[in-house]
Amino acid sequence: MPGGSHLLFIYGTLKRGDVRAPLLTGQHDLGNVKTQPRYRLFNTGDYPALVEAQPLGLSGRSIEGELWSVDDACLNRLDEEEGVDEGLYERIAVELIGQPETVEAYLYLHPVDGLADCGDHWPIER
């Protein structure tokens, strides 16, 4: 793919049918996937927060989402949208069930104390 290709796990408002899905226009949807059971998903109110479970002393869950192949330009737009430079999220490597390659996802960098647990997926029915 011209301009580079990155595998990205999408789990929240970027998912098909959700409010920021148009940011993925022109990219390649590779289908539904689940993470290895090492993460938790919390509701911040307007968007979900994916965190690593073990550092928080929590048991991990397999989080449902979508796998996308995105080019460099899209990844740069998403980094800006996700507040990477502002320290809201960082892009980290995650492992998916049945996926031999490690992919990237946006990990939430702020405390999740007091936030509601989303279970294994972010609902788009709000």
Which carries the bigger pLDDT value, residue 55 or residue 121? 121
CATH code 3.10.490.10 for 6-112: yes
Residue 63 · residue 120 · CB < 8 Å:
yes
Tell me which long-range contacts 88-94 makes (C-beta under 8 A, separation of at least 24). 94/9, 94/35, 94/36, 94/38, 94/39
What pLDDT score does 2 carry?
45
Give me the residue spans of the domains in the chain: 6-112
| Cβ neighbours around 94 below 10 Å, total | 24
| pTM (two decimals) | 0.92
The string of pLDDT tens digits covering residues 72-89 is 999 999 999 999 999 999
Q: Which element (helix H / strand E) includes 75?
A: helix 72-81
- Report the C-alpha gap between 39 and 45 in whole angstroms: 19
pLDDT-derived band at 125 (thresholds 50, 70, 90) equals low
